[in-house]
Chain A
Amino acid sequence: MTGEYRPTVALFYCQNIPQSSEDHRRVLEKKYGQSMRLFPIPCSGRLEPIHLLRALEEFAEAAYVVTCPEGACRYLEGNRRAMKRVQRTQDIISSIGLEKERVGIIIESSEAPEPLGQLAERLLERALKLAPSPVLKGAMTTKEHPSP
Chain B
Amino acid sequence: MITAEQKPIQEIRDMISPYKKILVLGCNSCVAECAAGGEKETAMLASALRMAAKMNEEDVLIEEKAIERQCVKDFVILLDDIIDQYDAVLSLGCGAGVQAVGDMFYEVPVIPALNTEFLGETKEQGLWLENCLGCGDCMLYYFGGICPLARCSKQLLNGPCGGSMEGRCEVDPDMPCAWQMIIDRLSRFGALERLEQVYPPKDWSKKQGVGPRRIQREDQQR
Contacts and interface: CB of A to CB of B under 8 A. Distances in A.
Classify the interface of chain B: helix, strand, loop or mixed: helix
Candidate in A53, A98, A145 with the most chain B CB atoms within 10 angstroms: A145
Interface residues of B, number: 30
A144 B64 contact: yes
A50 B40 contact: yes
Given A53-B48, A147-B67, A95 B57 contact: no
A138 B64 contact: no
A1 interface: no
Contacts of A95: 8-10, 48
B185 interface: no
Interface in A79-117: 92-93, 95-98
Contacts of A54: 47
Contacts of A142: 50, 62-63
A135 interface: yes
A144 B63 contact: yes
A98 B65 CA distance: 25
A141 B44 contact: no
Interface in A59-96: 92-93, 95-96
A135 B64 contact: no
B48 A96 contact: yes
A48 B54 CA distance: 22
Nearest to B126: A84
Interface in B7-51: 8-10, 28, 39-40, 43-44, 47-51
Given A142-B62, A143-B63, 6 more contacts: A96-B48, A96-B49, A96-B51, A140-B54, A145-B82, A148-B78
Interface of B: 8-10, 28, 39-40, 43-44, 47-55, 57, 60-68, 75, 78, 82
